[in-house]
């Protein structure tokens, strides 16, 4: 569960948070979990490269500038060379958006996808909710 | 078919166009079609409000700063109160990403979705590819 | 004094917060003071329109993704139809950037600058440091 | 002289191009000149690191989404270890903003400013207008 502050400049000419910017809000939550959170567990490998293979986002209600939004996040699929993050974004306690990201660990230096390591699986497993 | 320039600042710390920013590139193509293009046909109603209900994006290859990307776009579903836009994004002639947006015409002043008008359907129909 | 969170996507391809993005960090602090802060004093008129006439920004040190930056802010000039905001931005307690914004109250509906009201001057005066 | 396209998302909730985003428009013109332009002259060293030490921007008229803006650019100061870029931004032929950037060549790998090379001075000199 991550509180992600909304910036005034996230709003577009319609006066609501721009739909593309939701991916940035989700990114902030994901980075908090996989970069900052994993690093606190001695695991820096996610930071060296996670490639996004696919995003799905549903927009249920407009979000305005104001209090931070709350993002709930869990792992909905954990495979050999990818994992899927599911998100729910709450604004003032009301579900405003849902999303799903397929993430692929990537060897940036060598330029190819790679398998999840045992340590990475150990880090992710507690967040895994089998559907 | 729209050429969308990539900005240097679209790149993130990995040195590639940020995944969230792809939605902005797709938005530029969509705006060119539905705001600028439709306005040229005397149709200003899209500009007064299209709400995005859902996005799906597949990332096939990284895109870097350089020449504009080319976005192909068509209507894959045309319903009473929504339509779906499909996109393909080409970088140097190679398919780098695909996306799909469910768009809902919206009465911004009164705050509720509305049906597509006959004029809007007439504008969209030539772009409609029934799958 | 405002703590402004830095987003991962504020970094550019050089791996530091992009220089243009500093204006967004300063904007967040300014909005907190003039929109949210003034509104708490029953003063909504800033929110209806402040136009920026000029910015100056000095970059002293690179800022990276991590803890929020701290922005100190004060009024350095208070005139009939404009006021000047000075800022200092601290990263981990070290001065990383300074900036100055000339702000003009603006009647957005009628499209012209306007004088500061007595209530607006009363709100700004405690922050005014005559140099 | 560079034509820089304005994106729909450059507009903020006021319906005009956001003041912070002007720095991104100026950045696009600067990158076209110093990265793409200089590279065409066999000079890749700017791309390996130019640090911005200071920006000044004057906002003369609001800019809206629509045609590209035109940016005129020249060198107003050329020193041993820095140079200054002056810009004028025209919207529909009317001067809408002026800006100035102090640029410092930087050795990113070693983390310190460096002198302009003879080749860099040769590239910049034709753009230098002594005031």
Residue with tokens 């560079």, as numbered in its chain: D2
Residues from chain B that touch D35, judged by Cβ atoms under 8 A, are: 8
CA-nearest residue of chain B to C14?
B13
The alpha helices in D1-113, defined as continuous H runs, are: 19-31, 38-40
Residues of chain B with pLDDT under 50: none
Print the domain residue range for A54: 2-127
* Two structure tokens written together for D127: 């753009």
Q: How far apart are CA D12 and CA D65, in angstroms?
A: 11
- pLDDT for residue A91: 98
Q: What is the 3-state secondary structure (H, E, C) of chain A?
A: CEEECCCHHHECCCCCECHHHHHHHHHHHHHHHHHHHHHHCCCCCCCCCEEEEEEEEEECCCCCCCCCEEEEEEEEEECCCCEEEEEEEEECCEEEEEEEEEEEEEECCCCEECCCCHHHHHHHHHHECCC
A70-113 pLDDT tens trace = 999 999 999 999 999 999 999 999 999 999 999 999 887 888 89
User: Please, are residues B69 and B6 in contact by the beta-carbon 8 Å criterion?
Assistant: yes
What pLDDT does residue B50 have?
A: 85
What is the C-alpha to C-alpha distance for residues B3 and B73, in angstroms, rounded to an integer?
11
Percentage of the residues of chain D whose pLDDT score is greater than 70: 100
Residues of chain A whose C-beta is under 8 A from some C-beta in B? 14, 19-21, 23-24, 27, 49, 51-59, 62, 108
Measured in angstroms, the CA of A17 and the nearest CA of chain B are apart by 12
Nearest to D27 by CA among C22, C97, B69, B109: C22
What residue in B sits closest to D7 (Cα-Cα)?
A: B28
Q: Which chains touch D (3 or more CB pairs under 8 A)?
A: A, B, C
Interface B-D, measured as beta-carbon pairs within 8 A, has a size of 21
Instruction: Using pLDDT thresholds of 50, 70 and 90, give the confidence band for residue D10.
Output: very high
Residue entry with tokens 């405690």? C126
CA distance to partner chain B, nearest, from residue A115 (Å): 18
D43 or C8, higher pLDDT? C8
Alpha-carbon distances of C78 from C30, C85, C117, D31, rounded to whole Å: 16, 9, 12, 37
> Is the pLDDT score of D7 beyond 90?
yes
Which pLDDT score, from 0 to 100, does residue D116 have? 94
Spatial contact of D38 and D44, defined as CB atoms under 8 Å apart: yes
Q: What pLDDT is recorded for position C109?
A: 80
Crossing angle for the helix pair B19-31 and A19-31, to the nearest 10 degrees = 180
CB C78 within 8 A of CB C124: yes
Distances (CA, A) of D129 to A84, D96, D105: 56, 21, 20
Whether the CB-CB separation of A84 and A105 falls below 8 Å is answered with no
What was the pLDDT predicted at A46? Answer: 78
The whole-angstrom separation of Cα A56 and Cα B25 is 16
Please state, rounded to an integer, the average pLDDT across all residues of chain C: 93
| The total number of structural domains that make up chain A | 1
Residue B121: name the closest of B26, B46, B40 by CA: B46
Report the gap between the CA of D33 and the closest CA in chain A (Å). Answer: 28
Considering only CB atoms, B57 lies closest to which of A14, A24, A54, namely: A54
- Model pLDDT, residue B130: 87
CA distance D18 to A7: 13
D21, D55, D62: residue with CB nearest C19: D55
- D19-29 pLDDT, tens digit each: 999 999 999 99
Instruction: Identify the band that residue D35 occupies on the pLDDT scale cut at 50, 70 and 90.
Output: confident
- The partner residue sitting opposite B11, judged by closest CB among C13, C20, C65, is C13
Nearest to D98 by CA among D128, D66, D63: D63
Assign residue C94 the CATH number of its domain: 3.10.129.10
Contact check, Cβ <8 Å, D23/C20: yes
| Contact residues, chain D, for B24 at CB < 8 Å | 7, 9
The C-alpha of C125 sits at a distance from chain B's nearest C-alpha, in angstroms, of 38
For position A49, what pLDDT does the model report?
78
Quick one: closest CA in A to D18, which residue?
A: A9
pLDDT at D130: 87
Beta strands in chain C (DSSP E): 2-4, 50-59, 69-78, 83-91, 94-107, 112-113
- Give the relative orientation of helices C19-31 and D19-31 as an angle to the nearest 10 degrees: 180
More confident residue, D107 or C26: C26
What chain D residue is nearest to A20 in terms of C-alpha separation? D9
Cβ neighbours of D9 in A, within 8 Å: 12, 18, 20
| Confidence category of residue D46, pLDDT binned at 50, 70, 90 | confident
Structure tokens at C63: 């800022």
Contact residues, chain C to chain D, C-beta under 8 Å: 14, 19-21, 23-24, 27, 49, 51-59, 62, 108
> Distance from A125 to chain B by nearest Cα, in Å?
25
Residue of B nearest to D5 (CA): B5
Neighbours of C, requiring at least 3 CB pairs below 8 Å, are A, B, D
Indicate the residue of A20, A49, A59 with minimum beta-carbon distance to B54: A59
CA distance C16 to chain B (A): 8
Confidence band, pLDDT 50/70/90 cuts, at residue C1? confident
Q: Please state whether beta strands C94-107 and D2-4 pair in parallel, antiparallel, or not at all (unpaired).
A: unpaired
Q: What is the pLDDT of residue A62?
A: 94
Alpha-carbon distances, residue C50 vs A30, C81, C98, D59, D119 (angstroms): 35, 11, 21, 13, 45
Question: Which sign, positive or negative, has the C-alpha torsion B85, B90, B93, B94?
Answer: negative
Q: CA angle, D52 as apex, C87 and B68 as ends, to 5°? A: 115
Burial class from Cβ neighbours inside 10 Å (0-12, 13-18, 19+) for residue D85 reads buried
């Amino acid at each position: 569960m991550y509180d992600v502050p909304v910036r005034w400049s996230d709003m577009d000419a319609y006066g609501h948070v721009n739909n593309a910017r939701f991916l940035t809000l989700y990114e902030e939550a994901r980075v908090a979990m996989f970069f900052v959170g994993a690093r606190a567990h001695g695991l820096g490998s996610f930071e060296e490269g996670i490639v996004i293979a696919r995003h799905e986002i549903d927009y249920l209600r407009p979000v305005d500038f104001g209090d931070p939004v709350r993002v709930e996040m869990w792992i909905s699929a954990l495979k050999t060379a990818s994992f899927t993050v599911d998100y729910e974004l709450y604004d003032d306690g009301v579900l405003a958006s849902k999303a799903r990201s397929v993430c692929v660990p990537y060897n940036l230096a060598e330029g190819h996808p790679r398998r999840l390591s045992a340590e990475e699986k150990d880090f992710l497993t507690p967040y895994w909710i089998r559907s």
